[in-house]
Amino acid sequence: MIELGLADGCLIDELMELTAQSLSHLEIQERFNIVKEIGRGKYGRVLLVTHRFRGTPMALKVMPKTSTKLQGFLREYCISLHLSCHPCIVGLFGIAFQSDEHYCFAQELVIGRDLFAVIQPKVGIPESSVKRCVLQIASALEFIHSRGLVHRDVKPENILLLDNLCSHVKLADFGLAQKRGTLIRFITGTLPYMAPELCNVALLEGQKEVTAPPLSVEPSLDTWAFGVVIFCILTGYFPWERCMDSDDFYQEFADWCKIEERPVEEEDVPPLWKRFTPEAMEMFGKLLALDAGKRCTVEEVKVYVEKDWLKTAQENTTGKA
């Protein structure tokens, strides 16, 4: 599996080189009719377009040259193209070009909302829907990791729904994806989905440099984020703000993880986690292991899908009594 991954990493380099050599120059309106904007972020915009000659509807990702390096654009496009054959990953059309002001590539148009949009605050979404979603994203991540790649931005906003029951979902946005083993010297800011080792190389407000050694990009980063996503969509809230000692909610969970033989008694589980069954807590303990080397692989979540993850109302009441 690792040998395959390394080979695929070299393939990405070759794809990037070939794409750079053949990247055509044209203005968007020459080939596409712009219908409307359907997404916007730090990267740029996503436009709903139709092909002028074939009429095919597409999602066109448009990134300004002023804030996008050519290598970054090529990496995202080539990684996305390489992985788009998986049914739970957004597909690509193999169309990439540059205009005077933008880099662009065309993706499959997914009509629907992202997972974040359907999470009811402080409630989450039904456990049955969560499990359908989890199985599909686990499959997508397993595929990505087998190719020697790491997504690095697993979050509900990057999981697109083709229906509200999560019967079919797709993982999107490979803007931060990297080859396994790539060294990260620092990142700016933190998010609740970032693993503790990633927060160690975060350049926080007021800091001029990071003292921690560079971090190797590994699948365990995605495993951690995946665990946090499962928590979020089951509960409707974040387990913590950031994985640092200064965050009390994270520290409570970290203290629980450090107990040598982790007990399952109600009083030992951190308050935010008391709604989960012992089986779910066992799963979270593996996905969110503090030591990245001891973290399970994403596919291990499949073992727990047949188990109950949330306690019944009666069990919750008994636990509070």
* Per-10-residue mean pLDDT, the chain, length 321: 54 94 96 95 94 96 98 97 97 97 97 94 97 99 97 97 95 96 87 95 77 93 99 98 94 88 69 96 97 97 98 68 48
Query: What's the predicted TM-score (pTM) here?
Result: 0.91
State how far the Cα of 133 lies from the Cα of 156, in Å rounded to an integer. Answer: 10
**Which residues, including other chains, have CB under 8 Å from residue 48's CB and lie 6 or more apart?**
34, 35, 36, 37, 38, 57, 58, 59, 60, 109
**Which residues, including other chains, have CB under 8 Å from residue 146's CB and lie 6 or more apart?**
1, 4, 5
Q: Over the stretch 150-170, which tens digit does the pLDDT of each residue have?
A: 999 999 999 999 998 999 999
Residue 289, pLDDT score: 97
Residue tagged 């979020």 (tokens): 232
69 annotated as ligand-binding: no
Residue tagged 């073992």 (tokens): 303
Closest CA to 60 of 82, 28, 26, 89: 28
Which helix H or strand E contains 127, and what residues bound it? helix 127-146
Helices 2-22 and 70-83 pack at an angle, to 10 degrees, of 130
Q: Has 153 been annotated as catalytic?
A: yes
- Encode burial over 110-119: b for 16+ CB neighbours within 10 A, e otherwise: beeebbeebb
Q: Which tokens sit at 28?
A: 């968007």
Residue 318, pLDDT score: 58
Residue 314, pLDDT score: 60
DSSP helix, strand, coil percent of the chain (3-state; round to 5): 40, 20, 40
Q: Which tokens sit at 298?
A: 């994403």
Closest CA to 175 of 240, 90, 241: 90
Residue 4, pLDDT score: 45
Residue tagged 């690792």 (tokens): 2
**Which residues, including other chains, have CB under 8 Å from residue 76's CB and lie 6 or more apart?**
174, 175, 177
DSSP states along 238-259: -S-S-SSTT-HHHHHHHHHHTS
Give the side-chain half-sphere CA count within 13 A for 36.
Answer: 1
Domains and CATH numbers, the chain: 2-107 (3.30.200.20), 115-320 (1.10.510.10)
DSSP collapsed to 3 states, 149-218 = EECCCCCHHHEEECCCCCCCEEECCCCCCEECCCEECCEECCCCCCCHHHHCCEECCCCCCCCCCCEECC
Of the listed 114, 153, 173, 222, which one is catalytic? 153
